[in-house]
Structures are given as structure tokens and as C-alpha cells.
Chains A and B, each alone.
Chain A
Amino acid sequence: MATMRARHKIRAPRRGLASSQTDDYDAVWSVLSASLTEIHTKNASTLSFEELYRSAYRIVLMQRGQDLYTHVKEHEQGWLRGTVQKIVTDSISTTLVCAQTQNASELLDQSNERRAAGEKFLAVLKEAWEDHQLCMSMITDVMMYMDRIIALDHDKPSIYVVSMALFRDHVLNTKVRPDSDLTVMDVLNSTVLFMVQLERAGHMIERPLVRHCTQMLEGLYETVKEEESSKLYLTIFEPAFLEASTDFYKAEGRRLLEIGDAAVFCRIVTQRIEEEHERARTTLSMLTETKILALLDSELILKNIDEVVQLEGTGVRHMLDHNQMEALHRIYTLNARVDRKKEALSKSVNKRVVELGSEINAASIVSPAGVTAPPEKDAEKSKKGKEKERPANQQTVLAIQWVDSILALKRQFDNVWINAFMRDQGLQSSIMASFSDFINTNPRSSEYLSLFFDENLKKGIKGKTESEVDALLDNGITMLRYIKDKDLFETYYKKHLSRRLLMKRSASMDAERQMISKMKLEVGNQFTQRIEAMFKDMTVSEDLTASYKDHVAKSADPDHKPVDLEINVLTSTMWPMEIMSNSKEGILPATCVFPREIEALKQSFERFYLDKHSGRRLTWQASMGTADVRASFRRSNGKIQRYELNVSTYALVILILFNDVPDGESLTFEEIQSRTQIPHHDLVRNLQSLAVATKTRVLLKSPMSKDVQTTDRFCFNNDFQSQFVKVRIGVVSGGANKVENTDQRKETEKKMAEERYGTIESAIVRIMKQRKTLTHTQLVSEVLSQISSRFVPEVSMIKKRIESLIDREYLDRVSEDPPTYDYVA
């Protein structure tokens, strides 16, 4: 070659590369156009890509690219109009055309026919589309050089895009029949919708076929710019689909409501959601998924949820009552879809909680006369002895039952909450609020809860493992959380606790301590301070008793048999004295006249104690004590039978009286009272247990009757019989903690109110001391926040306290608008 000699000279490209062929555009085009037809008729394998490509390349190099572009476009248009259009319109049977104008009922009659026709049409359309796509991608490949040069230089869309637009215009937008306005697109729309309708009605349809058609719509755009939002799918099909779906689900919602079963409703709706989700993924397009689901949410759920929740006999109430977790879970899920707060659900759950709670409340305050406690409780009660059958005790049982029922209810709802509501925070707090509501509507809730603890700490925990006890106490603490008047609870708890401690009725001190620490965690230090002081008194007293015994052992003369003394010295401010001693007007009860032996013992202890702690005053609470007595009964046959009696201190005093009474003689009630000075009320109770209770009839009363009258006479019963050597004589309605009667209750309330005054006043003073000046509203809200952990005071109460403090010159009113107070130091 000549160029080889000048190595560094750049060789000109050989222009004459294609010179052997003609430069005539028309000739080249005619070859090309023939080839394009071949491609469309699927004969491409006879063609050489390289040859076609080179032809297009040459045309472009000839500067005739524009012409080529136009010609290809025209060629495609011709092909689509001439061939494809006919195939597609032919595939649309008359059934489909008519279907457009018919109403729904007729449609169903012809559904099979229409379905077959529709499937045929869709199949043909799908094939036409796929062919077009494939051919166009081949042609675009061949024309790539042209696309690169022309489309870029002249800002024209690629030939592929143009041909897609041609398909839209000349296939989809053509009229089905020359004489109708219906376009292929309309038929396609209605056919796909029909298919969806069939599927919703439970028929199987050919999903892939429908999917191909919607994919086609997704691949086509309104303009050649091909913006996402101008997809035919989005502009034409989807609105129609959503509209049809809205209608369908409106009707569906009505239909489901008419069935009137909430569980069924939820199940079907859940199923529908799943179906639409599936449909969007497999049959239509992912683009629609969120929209159709939103539509379901608003049409099916939002519009109907309230009604469904309240459906009589099958709604949430029914589900809760029958523990239908699955249904509840469904309804929860549905409600959560449309409402973050799940208002409909929580409203009805709360309503049910309050309803059930009120039932429990009502059951607990049935008047004693009409009480019919559940049988199992009866059985349990009869074991506890006859005194339990008294109305007051029945009330106590009811109180404990009340707590048990609430705990059971709480467990039930906790269970629902965990299993059906996915531990939803909002629902939890709303359920808790409802519990708190109804618990606090029962004015005796604090007392009942304390009784519940009392009962359990006395006997409930026997034979239970530590973890069971723990769970039991935790349950009670949970309830304590709901109770607003915690100070009232504290009062009752102290009262019940003092009985347990003094009468040694507590089953386990460990459990008691555990309880205290739990309460401390729950409501704070201040709350348990006094209760802890009570425990401290108990331990100190134990030491004291021991050291007194030592002291007696050393000092006493050996001949004299000392009476064993076990003593509890209690700090009067920490213990609920007034409640224990049953005093009415707050005056200290006169202590009874102790018999010689006891009086000596008492004085000996007083000397011993005051030696150690001078300046203290001891008050003897005979009503709280017990004594063990060995009593001898002289039978009529001369034998002597001995029993060990465990009696209250008062009973002891009464019995010792009879030591001095000769056999056969008797004492009147008044005589006993004047000699012992035992308060009337206590005397009646003690005589009742000594002379009326059948098993412990140590005294004989005449006349025999159930009640103790002031005119009755008593004598010693030498024929007393018992199968045990040791006999416990309980004081009638004395030893056991039980529900207060109305008078006691009024008393407690009065005391409570006084204590609250004090608490509020001290809170006000504390706050004002720190803040010096505050407006009325600020002060009230501060007070509320400070003492709400103990109880929830009424604003009017706070107001009264403020006024009282102003009267007593602790505070000063400095301004009227807004009302403001100053602290007076």
C-alpha cells in the first residue's frame, strides 16, 4: 500500500467504502422498508442486522436521516392501521360492545359469554402489543444510528417512543365499530374491570393476561415526553378502576353491615384487604396498591367501623365477653389502619370495662339482707365458723370478692391487650383510665382493697410459693395504682395491719414486709413511713417483753406463780388508736377495772417500763389483748374437767369475776358492768361470745336468747363441753377485719376529711414558704400536683383551706385581679 511508506501520515478514511453500492436514497429505503415488513411478519432470521444497520447508517451519512425518520414513522403507522388495528377490532365480539351499554343485572346473566369474549380480546390485544414491542425494539436497534444522530440533533423522541405513541393512537384509540363512539381503550377498560369484578365475586380469572394488559398501559404515555404521571395506566385505567372499586366497596360495606356480624365483617374485610393487595401485585399494578388500600380503608373501614364495633350481639362487647381474641385482633388491625388512636375500638372497650366494673361494684354493695353469695364462697365461709355467717362478714366476703372480680377482669383485659391489641400503648392507657374510673366510683374501694390484703396476708398465702405470693401482692398493688384516694387506703391499711400485728394473725411477716416495700415503690416513701414505724414498735416490744421476763425471773419470789406477760408498746401517733378502741367521740375509753392478779402484773410492768423510759405515759388497751386461761369445770358427778381457754382480755376479766361467785349463783349484766367498767359495747360482744355462741358457751345466760340484754343474768357453766382441750373463744365481730358499718364509715370519713385539711394546708404553706408570692390558679395547681399521689382533692376544698389560712394570717391577699397571695412569715 502506498500509505505504508509515509508511516506518520494520517490515512484518510476510505470514503469509497460503500461506493460499490448505490447512493440512491430511494433504493436503499425500499430495501429497508421491505425488511421492516419482514420484521413485522417475523421473518427476521433471513435478514442481516449488519446490512440493515449499514443501510440506515449510510442514509444518515447521506444527510437523509430526517427523511428516514419520517418514512419509518409512516411505515409503522401504515402497518398498525392496516394490519394490527383490524386484528384487534375483529377480536372484539358484539358481546363486549353491547356490554358497555347494559346494566349490571343483565351483565351477570351473560357473564360467562362475556368473560370468554373478554379473554379472547385481551389475549389478542396482548399479543399485538407484545409483537409491536418486540418488532419496535428490533427496528430501533437497526435504526440506532439514526436515533443517535437525528433524535439528539433535532430534539425528537426516539423512534421507539414514537412508535409506542402510534400504537396508542392507531390501535387503542380507534373506534371499535365504524358506527360507534366506543374505542378499543374503552373496551379494554371495561373488560379489565369486568375481570376484576369477576374475581371479587370469587371466580378464578387469568391474572397474567390482565397483568399483561395493564403492563401495556403502564408502558404507554399520553405524550412522547413519557412523564411518570402521564402513563395511560394512571390517566385512564386507574381512575376508572378506583371509581368502580368505590362503588363496589360501598355496596360491600352495606351488605356486610346487613349481615350484622362484626366478626364476619372483620374477617371479610381483612380478606378483602389481602385480596386487593394480592390483586395489585399480581393482576394490576403496584402503583395502585396504596390507592386501592386507602380506598378500602375509607370506604369499608372508616365509614363502618363505628357501627361494627357497636353491633348488637356480635360487636366488640360480644367479642370481649366471649374472649374472641382473633376477632378482636382483626378489629384492632382494621381500626389501626384508619385511626392511629383507634378511637372507635377504645371507646367501646372502655365502655365495656366500665359496664363490667359497675356490675362488680353493684354486686359488692347488695344490701346484707338480700345477699346471696356464690355457693363456693358459702362453702368456704361455713368452715370459718358461724360468726362468718353474720351480715357484716358477708359484706367482708363481698368486699374481697369485689377485689377478686376486678383482678380477674383486669387479667382478662390484659390478656386481650397482649394477644389482640399488640400491646398498644394508647389502648393500654385508655383501659387503665376506665379501670380507674369505675374503681373510684365505688366509694369503698380503698377499704375493700385493704380488706383484700388483710384476708390474703392472714390466710390467703398459706401453702403458696413465694412467686405466687409475689404475684398476688403485685395484683393488689396494681389496683392500688388505680385508686385515687390513697390516703384513705393508708388509713384502712393501718387499721387492718394493726389488728393483724397485735392479734398475731399475720401468716407471714416476710409477706408483710414484702408488701410494704412494694407499696413504697408504688406510692413513695412518705406513704409507708407510719406503717414502717408500726413494724418497728413491734420489734421493740418483743425485746421489751423478753427483758421484762428476765426482770421478773430475777426479782419474783419463787412461790408465787407469775402470770406471763407479752406486751406491745405502741407509739400512739403511728397507730390508729381511735379506730382500734372503737371510741365514738374521740375521748379515750376508760380502762376497765382489772382483777387483782392482773392489776399487780400491770403495775409491775409499769414500774419496769417507766424505770427505763421516764416521762412516758402508758395507756392500756384492754380491748386489743388476749389471754390464755386454764379453767376448771366441776362436773355434776364430781369430776373436774380442765380446759385451756384463749379469750380476749375483757373476757378474762369477766371470767375471773366468776371465781368469786359460788356455784349456782349468777351475776346480772349490770353487776358485771359496774364491777369491771368494761365499755357497754365491748361487754355485750364479749358476753355474746361467752354465753351465746354454741361451741364456746362457758357462761349460761338466762333467759336464753340470741341477744344480750342489760337485764340478763349469767352464771358459770360447769357442764361446758368441747372436743378440744384448747378452746379459742373469739370475740364476736371483734377480731376480724371487716367492712365498716355506716356509723364507722361516717366516722372514718370525718377523720379523713380532717386529715386532708391538714395535708392541704401544710402543702399550701410549704409551697408559699418557698415561692413567697403566687397567683391563685398557680397555687391550686401546685397543691394538686403535690398531693395527687395521695388523693385528689376538690378545688373548692383547697379554696376553703386558703381562706382559712388567710384568716389565721399565714397568707395575705395582695391583689384581686388576678387573685394573688403573699406568704406571711
Chain B
Amino acid sequence: MESSTQSEYVTLVSCDGFEFILPRSSACVSGTIRRMLDPSSKFSEAITGRCVLENLSGVVLEKVCEYFLYNEKHKDQANVADMDVPAELCLELLMAADYLDT
């Protein structure tokens, strides 16, 4: 699995088993995930490129991933429109953001 360390894509897994594959750079919008995947620390996530996030449900993680991509797409722009967030997910997303240091 040595090659996956350098792989451009990483896999995020929710607690209920959903897998999201997204570019490493997008995933690293999150401070926590960035540290998790830091190649200099030899944690298992860094080696396999697969992060199992026991704290997050599939629904939330999907929204989180959407945000990652949205954030990366617009990172150099000003006055970007807010992302549409369903009201019922608000609190859980807040918790996730805190957890992921995003």
C-alpha cells in the first residue's frame, strides 16, 4: 500500500459504512484529516490513505465532502455565495466542523 501514500485520492469512510473518494487536497481542507494523512507521521491512515471517521454518519460526511470540494473550488475567490445547508443538519455539521477542525 506504499503507493497510496502518494495517491492523489483518499477515501473517507463514515461510521455507517459509506465511502467517499475525493482528492487529497480537498480532504486536507480539514485540519484533522490533514494531520491524519501527514506522511511524516506513520499512522495507519497515512499509510493506507483511508480514514474511517467513527464520529460521522454518511449523511453528514456527504455534506462535509461537498463542502470540501466547494471550498477548494472557490478558495481564491471573494464574495462566494453561501453553500446551501439543510436546516436539520445544521447542528450535526457544526459538531463535525469542530471535530474536523475545518
Chain A interface (Cβ within 8 Å of chain B)?
3, 7-14, 17-18, 42, 44-54, 57, 134, 137-138, 141-142, 144-145, 148
Contact = CB atoms under 8 A, between A and B. Distances in A.
30 contacts: A7-B86, A7-B88, A9-B87, A9-B88, A13-B92, A13-B95, A17-B55, A18-B54, A18-B55, A45-B47, A47-B43, A49-B35, A49-B44, A49-B45, A49-B46, A50-B45, A50-B51, A50-B53, A52-B43, A54-B54, A57-B55, A57-B99, A134-B41, A137-B40, A137-B41, A141-B36, A142-B35, A145-B32, A145-B99, A148-B101
Contact of B42 (A45, A145, A148): A45
Contacts of B87: 7-10
Interface in B16-59: 31-32, 35-36, 38, 40-47, 51-55, 57
Contacts of A137: 40-41
Majority SS at the chain B contact face: helix
Interface string B70-101: 00000000000000001111111011000101
Given A49-B46, A57-B99, A44 B91 contact: no
Nearest to A43: B42
Nearest to A9: B88
Closest 10 CB pairs of A and B: A49-B43, A141-B35, A138-B41, A49-B36, A44-B42, A11-B88, A45-B42, A13-B91, A49-B45, A13-B92
A46 B44 contact: yes
Most chain B CB neighbours (cut-off 10 Å) among A3, A52, A137, A141: A141
Contacts of A11: 88-89, 91-92
A776 to B, nearest CB: 77
Contacts of A10: 87-88, 90-91
Contact of A3 (B45, B88, B99): B88
Contacts of B51: 49-50
Nearest to B86: A7
Contacts of A134: 40-41
Contacts of B47: 45
Interface on chain A toward B: helix, strand, loop, or mixed SS?
helix
Nearest to B101: A144
Given A7-B88, A10-B88, A10-B91, A48 B41 contact: no
A11 B90 CA distance: 8
Contacts, number: 83
B41 A44 contact: yes
A17 B31 CA distance: 21
Given A53-B32, A138-B43, 11 more contacts: A7-B87, A9-B88, A11-B89, A18-B54, A18-B55, A48-B44, A52-B43, A137-B41, A141-B35, A144-B31, A144-B32
Contacts of B90: 10
Nearest to B15: A17
Contacts of B45: 48-50
Nearest to B52: A50
Contacts of B40: 134, 137
B90 to A, nearest CB: 6
Contacts of A48: 43-45, 52
B51 to A, nearest CB: 6
A138 B40 CA distance: 9
Nearest to A139: B41
B101 A14 contact: no
A45 B91 contact: no
Nearest to B96: A13
A349 B45 CA distance: 73
A530 B53 CA distance: 105
A145 B45 CA distance: 18
Contacts of A141: 35-36, 38, 41
Contacts of A145: 32, 99, 101
A105 to B, nearest CB: 47
Nearest to A48: B44
B88 A8 contact: yes
B88 A54 contact: no
Contacts of B35: 49, 141-142, 144
Contacts of A53: 32, 36
Contacts of A144: 31-32, 35, 101
B32 to A, nearest CB: 6
B50 to A, nearest CB: 10
Contacts of A13: 91-92, 94-95
B67 to A, nearest CB: 17
A13 B96 CA distance: 10
A363 to B, nearest CB: 79
Contacts of B31: 144
Contacts of A42: 42
B54 A44 contact: no
A185 B32 CA distance: 36
Contacts of A12: 91
A51 B44 CA distance: 10
Choose among A7, A9, A10, A49 the residue with the greatest number of B CB atoms under 10 Å from its CB: A49
A763 B51 CA distance: 99
Contacts of B43: 44-45, 47-49, 52, 138
Contacts of B38: 141
A44 B39 CA distance: 12
A11 B59 CA distance: 12
A190 to B, nearest CB: 33
B14 to A, nearest CB: 12
Contacts of A7: 86-88
A390 B57 CA distance: 121
B78 to A, nearest CB: 27
Contacts of A57: 55, 99
A496 to B, nearest CB: 83
B3 to A, nearest CB: 16
